[in-house]
């Protein structure tokens, strides 16, 4: 497996609109609009003016844009102050900064005992 420095990174630019699903094993930064589901193994970064209209599955996420759909995050999900999620969330850890909007339910997995002790 590639180290973090060698891992691929994909970007959807601010003036780009994707109509369809995005899948991959990379980290992904979205600054534009995606009308479809996003499924990636890596980290998702959703910029302030970005929109995803579909479900999201990812390793981790830092969100500042809008998601209209469910979010399933394997590890940590961070909602920045401009973020908005309209849908249900599943994550091991959820951080909601002041100003973020979350309309839905949340399912958090309990941390294994080995991680709690650290």
The confidence score (pLDDT) of residue 100 equals 97
Taking residue 98's Cβ as centre, other Cβ atoms within 10 Å add up to 5
pLDDT classification of 1: cutoffs 50, 70, 90? very low
pLDDT in tens, 76-118: 999 999 999 999 999 999 999 999 999 999 998 766 555 555 5
From residue 115, alpha-carbon distances to 35, 41, 106, 112 in Å are 36, 21, 21, 6
Residue labelled with tokens 């394997």: 74
Taking residue 116's Cβ as centre, other Cβ atoms within 10 Å add up to 8
- Quick one: DSSP state of residue 75? E
The confidence score (pLDDT) of residue 53 equals 98
pLDDT in tens, 15-56: 999 999 999 999 999 999 999 999 999 999 999 999 999 999
């Amino acid at each position: 497996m590639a180290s973090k420095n060698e891992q691929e990174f994909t970007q959807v630019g601010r003036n780009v609109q994707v109509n369809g699903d995005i899948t991959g094993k990379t980290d992904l930064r979205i600054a534009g609009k995606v009308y479809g589901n996003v499924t990636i193994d890596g980290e998702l970064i959703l910029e302030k003016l970005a929109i995803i209209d579909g479900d999201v599955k990812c390793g981790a996420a830092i969100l500042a844009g809008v998601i209209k759909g469910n979010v399933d995050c394997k590890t940590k999900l961070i909602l920045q102050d401009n973020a908005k999620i309209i849908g249900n969330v599943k994550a091991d850890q959820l951080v909601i900064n002041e100003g973020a909007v979350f309309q839905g339910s949340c399912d958090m997995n309990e941390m294994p005992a080995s991680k709690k002790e650290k």
